[in-house]
Amino acid sequence: MVQVTELGYMGIGVKDLDAWRNFASTIVGLEVSDEGERDRCYLRMDYWHHRFVLHANGSDDLEYLGFRVAGGEEFAEMQHQLTEAGIKFRLGSQEEAIERHVLDVLKLNDPSGNPVEIFHGPEVQFNRPFHPGRRMHGRFKTGANGLGHCIIRQEDDKAAYRFYRALGMRGGVEYKINLGKHVVTPTFMHCNDRDHTVAFGVGPSKRRINHVMLEVDNLDDVGFTEELVRQHKISVNIKTGKHSNDHMYSFYFRNPSGWMLEYGWGARAATKQSEYYVRDVYGHEPEDGGFGE
Q: Which residues bind Fe ion (CB under 5 A)?
A: 213, 262
- Which residue, 119 or 164, has its beta carbon nearer to Fe ion? 164
Of residues 49, 57, 48, 66, the one with CA closest to residue 11:
66
- Which residue, 87 or 152, has its beta carbon nearer to Fe ion? 152
- Say which amino acid occupies 185: T
* Residue 266: how many other CB atoms lie within 10 Å: 17
Of residues 148, 57, 70, 166, the one with CA closest to residue 110:
166
Of residues 270, 262, 219, 210, the one with CA closest to residue 6:
270
- Which residue, 107 or 208, has its beta carbon nearer to Fe ion? 208
Minimum distance, C-beta of residue 107 to Fe ion, in the bound complex (Å) = 26
Minimum distance, C-beta of residue 278 to Fe ion, in the bound complex (Å) = 17
Minimum distance, C-beta of residue 85 to Fe ion, in the bound complex (Å) = 27
- Considering Cα of 283, then 279, then 6, then 256, what sign does the dihedral take? negative
Compute the distance between CA of residue 51 and CA of residue 64 in angstroms, rounded to an integer.
12
CB 194, CB 146: distance < 8 Å: yes
CB 221, CB 136: distance < 8 Å: yes
Compute the distance between CA of residue 182 and CA of residue 157 in angstroms, rounded to an integer.
16
- Which residue, 32 or 212, has its beta carbon nearer to Fe ion? 212
Minimum distance, C-beta of residue 212 to Fe ion, in the bound complex (Å) = 8
- Which residue, 124 or 276, has its beta carbon nearer to Fe ion? 276
Minimum distance, C-beta of residue 6 to Fe ion, in the bound complex (Å) = 16
- Which residue, 75 or 251, has its beta carbon nearer to Fe ion? 251
Minimum distance, C-beta of residue 142 to Fe ion, in the bound complex (Å) = 16
